[in-house]
Amino acid sequence: MNLETSGRMFYRLFLAILLFHLQVGGNYFGTNSRKDDQCFCKLKGSIDDCTCNIDTVDYFNNMRIYPRIQSLLVRDYFRFYKVNLKQECPFWADDSKCAIRYCHVLPCQDDDIPEGLKGEIPRNIHLNESPVDKYRANSQITDCRHSAKDHNIELGFLNTTISSENYKEFERWQQHDDAQDNFCVKESSPGEYVDLLLNPERYTGYKGFSAHRIWRNIYMENCFRPENSPHIFIQSSKMNGMCLEKRVFYRVISGLHASINIHLCSKYLLGPQSGLQISDNQWGPNLDELQRRFSPETTGGEGPNWLKNLYFTYLLQLRALAKAAPYLEREEYYTGNEMDDEDTRLAMNDILNVVKSFPEHFNETVMFTGGTEAQLLKEEFRQHFINISRIMDCVGCDKCKLWGKLQIHGLGTALKILFSGKFDKWEPTLNNLNRKLFFLERSEIVALVNAFGRLSESIFELDRFRRMMR
Binding residues for FAD: 202, 204, 215, 254, 257, 293
Examine the residue annotation and report whether 397 is marked as an active-site residue of this protein: yes
**Nearest CA among 221, 259, 254 for reference residue 236:** 254
* 189, amino acid identity: S
> How many Å apart are CA 434 and CA 67, to the nearest integer?
37
Query: Could you tell me the CA-to-CA distances from 14 to 10, 23, 259 in Å, in that order?
Result: 6, 14, 46
45, 148 contact by CB (below 8 A): no
Concerning whether 400 is annotated as a catalytic residue, the answer is: yes
CA dist 118 to 27, 110, 289, 330, Å? Answer: 58, 8, 41, 22
Q: Which of 437, 392, 419, 459 is nearest to 84 (CA)?
A: 392
Beta strand extents in 254-305 (DSSP E only): 268-270, 282-284
Using alpha carbons, select from 444, 442, 450 the residue that is nearest to residue 120: 442
Q: Is residue 398 a contact partner of residue 201, using CB atoms and an 8 Å limit?
A: no
Neighbours of 112 (CB within 10 A): 12
Residue type, 167: Y
- Rounded CA separation 393/405 (Å): 8
Do 238 and 222 touch, CB atoms closer than 8 A?
Answer: no
Residues 55 and 62: their CA atoms lie apart, in Å, by 11
- The catalytic position among 98, 223, 394, 400 is 400
Catalytic-role residue among 41, 103, 184, 397: 397
Task: Say how far residue 351 (Cα) sits from the centre of its chain.
Answer: 16
Q: Which residues are annotated as catalytic?
A: 397, 400
